[in-house]
Amino acid sequence: MADEDTALAEAADAAEAASNTKALDVVARSGFAVMALLHIVIGAIAIALALGQPGQAEPTGAIEQLAANPWGPAVMWAGLTGCAGLAVWQLSEATLRARHLPAGQRAGKFISSGFLAVAYGSVGLTFAGFAVGMRGDSGDSTRDFSTTLIRSPLGVPALIALGLTIIGIGIYFIVKGIRKQFKDELHHFEGTRRGQVISALGVAGHAAKGVALILVGLLFIVAAATNRPGESTGLDGSLKALRDHAAGPYLLTVIAAGLISYGVFALIRARFGRM
């Protein structure tokens, strides 16, 4: 038994060493840059929605915008590569490197980084779909997923649990922004005027991203509570639902500006952030 534990530990150490390669670092950083660009485009689409224009304020809509430019196919494959690398890096964070954390932090890291690994992998698959000419609607995909899940045994509790998890991650982003915990990841400009601007972008961006995630999570819970899976329409649906309220366009504009701020911050983090 001891020999088996030792062999497993050695295999985990070898896998962790492999995940620390320069190549994966570069690809993961490019993935951060891709996600940053998507946040900027989603924020721009959200501003258009607030002004009454059509659009899809979610990753599929943003990727569709990027695919429409002359370099679209190359951008799609580059996006797929970056997101795949970032998903692998987050998966290693959730498993291999989380081994060294105290037991109390290990579960949280597994959930947060594991969720991000799935999210980045999903965005990568969307890039792949556009690259090979298979375009979809993430709102439809979310509805289909919710419908399938809610019809399964324990589907309603599972959908509620998913919504609560997304809300929890949203709260984590808000707290991280308010407490400026992102400075642990980005300290290159610490103590400079430029650093103050980057810090402000980080606070606004993390808070806006957190609010957007909470809205998405709430739609999952509403869908489960009312047994209407069509209500869970992802980020685009949650932002459009917000827009339809009295002060919705103003709130949507604030969230959109925050998402753009997060995108700019994430671009800087992609280049200078600690991995």
Q: Where are the domains of the chain?
A: 1-136, 140-254
Read off the tokens for 31: 């993935």
pLDDT in tens, 5-60: 454 444 444 455 555 677 878 888 999 999 999 999 999 999 998 888 888 888 88
Distances (CA, A) of 182 to 4, 155, 185, 186: 39, 35, 5, 6
- What's the confidence (pLDDT) of residue 8? 45
Inter-residue contact 93 to 113 (CB < 8 Å):
yes
Whole-angstrom Cα distance, residue 235 to residue 250?
Answer: 17
pLDDT (average), residues 66-90: 89
Using the structure block, give the residue that is written with the tokens 């896998």: 15
Hey, what's the torsion of the CAs at 50, 52, 58, 62, to 10 degrees?
-110
Structure tokens at 225: 């509570």
What is the greatest pairwise CA distance in the chain? 65
Closest CA to 106 of 118, 89, 94: 94
Residue 169's pLDDT band (cuts 50, 70, 90): confident
Residue-wise pLDDT for 92-114, tens only, equals 877 766 565 666 666 777 777 78
**What CA–CA distance (Å, rounded) separates 254 from 208?**
8
Residue 115: predicted pLDDT: 80
> What is the chain's mean pLDDT, rounded?
80
- State which H helix or E strand residue 145 sits in: helix 138-150
Rounded average pLDDT over 65-85: 90
pTM confidence score? 0.80
Please compute the mean of the pLDDT values over residues 232-244 and round it to a whole number.
76
